[in-house]
Structure 1
Amino acid sequence: MIVEKNDTKSKILDTAERLITLGGYNAFSFRDIADEIGIKSASVHYHYPTKGDLVSAVMARYNEEFSEQLPNLNNEQLNPNVLLNSFIDGFKAKIVDQRNMSLCTMLTSDKTILPEQVCNELVTFYQLKLDWLTQIFVRLGDIEDDKALTQAVQLLACLHGASILVQGTDKPDFFDRALSEWRQYGC
């Protein structure tokens, strides 16, 4: 369930998401969030008793919003190549063009310290992307699910690797170079 944009819970989630994206799971405290929003730390704890509860809620909202943005692949009129390129463009716009690391990349880098509930939300997010991409590759190549899943895994690894390379080198054009073959896939 997505919460209203102007309520306290939403402000807490928005702030936590931004802070995680900037520095990972340990980059903030409840006091940091409270100070930024202008509430007491106890108010953050009221809505989210633990940091695990808070970050799990951030991920659950992220998963829901992401899922709602994915086109329905049951619509046969949608061109799978256009959808694949749109997925790549969306990743680039959200991560590379904004000079951010993704929420999930930051949390994944902290996976050894994350509570189980946050790890479960991460798995849900990655599985959502892999399932959707697998369906795209099945439609593009008229191939079996296992081979399509392999291609989905390869593309997702390329997307994340390219975004890290861009951050490390400060060369945004490396993203397009890394993804150039994928953009032509199925043409």
Structure 2
Amino acid sequence: MMVTTEGTAARIMDVAEALIQQRGYGGFSFDDVAQQVGIRKPSVHHHFRTKSDLVAALAQRYTERFESALAAIDIARRDPLARLKAYVRLFATTYAQDSRLCLCGMLGAEADALPEDVAAAVATFFELNLVWLAAAFRDAQHSGQVTSALRAQALAELLLSTLEGAMVVGRGARGGSGPAAVGKTLLGGLAA
């Protein structure tokens, strides 16, 4: 099911997404969202009954956007290594916005404390990415562009974990290399 929102609901989601990317699930409230959107707190509740409803919708929307971006990469780039490099750029683009973290990466760090519907939406994001990356790595191995003997699934987990971790380390170190440089280094070490 595609998450579509217009007007105020979309602004609420945009603000909440940015807050989560900076502060995490526990680091924002409906009051914070209402203030930044310029509405009253009951108006937020009008669109999203609970925080869990809002964040589950956000994780679903984020996953859908990522799925569209992955489809666009597949269409635009036949070369397997070019697809993997384009994937790295997705994370670099997010991080370039005030050191924002991947929404689902940030939520994934809090997975055990999240409501079940939110945790399930986050798990869907990671599964989508791992399946796509494993296919991309299989293609890169078959073409000879990636020479690692590791299974494609292991390489998928390695790249996704590296990118998510590079975002966290970059923010925590207040200037680490970030996902663009770290992803380039990892792919360079795997390429033929």
**TM-score, reference length from structure 1:** 0.86
CA deviation after TM superposition for structure 1 residue 96, in Å: 5.0
CA distance in 2, matches of 1:3, 1:165: 33
Q: Percent identity?
A: 32
How far, CA to CA, are the matches of 1:178 and 1:75 in structure 2? 22
The change in CA–CA distance for 1:42 and 1:166 in structure 2 (over 3 A counts) is same
Unaligned residue ranges in structure 2 (runs of 5+): 144-149
Cα offsets for 1:125-168 (capped at 9, x unmatched):
0011101100001101129xx91111101111111222222222
| Count of aligned positions | 184
SS in structure 1 opposite 2:4? coil
State whether residues 91 and 102 of structure 2, in contact with CA within 8 Å, keep that contact through their aligned partners in structure 1: no
Aligned-partner Cα distance in 1 for 2:74–2:137: 14
- Once the two structures are TM-superposed, the CA of residue 178 in structure 1 deviates from its matched residue by 6.3
1:163 pairs with one of 161, 167, 183: 167
Where does residue 183 of structure 1 map in the other structure? 188
> Could you say if the C-alpha distance between residues 98 and 36 of structure 1 is closer, same or farther in structure 2, counting changes exceeding 3 Å?
closer
Is the contact between residue 159 and residue 179 of structure 1 (CA under 8 Å) also seen in structure 2?
A: no
Q: Which residue in 1 is equivalent to 2:147?
A: none
Deviates more, 1:33-42 or 1:127-136: 33-42
Tell me the equivalent position of 2:114: 114
- Correspondence 1:173 to 2:174: no
CA distance in 1, matches of 2:69, 2:94: 13
Output the CA distance in 2 between the equivalents of 1:75 and 1:22. 32
CA distance in 1, matches of 2:24, 2:33: 14
Q: Distance in 2 between matches of 1:118 and 1:80?
A: 32
The answer to whether 1:82 aligns with 2:87 is no
Q: Which runs of 5+ in 1 are unaligned?
A: none
What is the one-letter code of the residue matched to 1:47? H
Within 2, Cα distance between the matches of 1:77 and 1:59?
27
Q: What amino acid is aligned across from residue 163 of structure 1 in structure 2?
A: M
Aligned residue runs from structure 1 range 1-150, under 5 A: 1-4=2-5, 7-71=7-71, 78-95=78-95, 98-142=98-142, 147-150=151-154
- Residue of 131, 152, 155 corresponding to 2:156: 152
Distance 1:177 1:130, change over 3 A: closer
What displacement does 1:53 show?
Answer: 0.3
> AA paired with 2:157?
V
Contact persistence 2:166–2:177 (CA under 8 A) = no
**Equivalents in 2 of 1:105, 1:41: separation in Å?**
27
> Residue 190 of structure 2 aligns to which amino acid in structure 1?
Y
1:63–1:125 CA contact under 8 A, matched in 2: yes
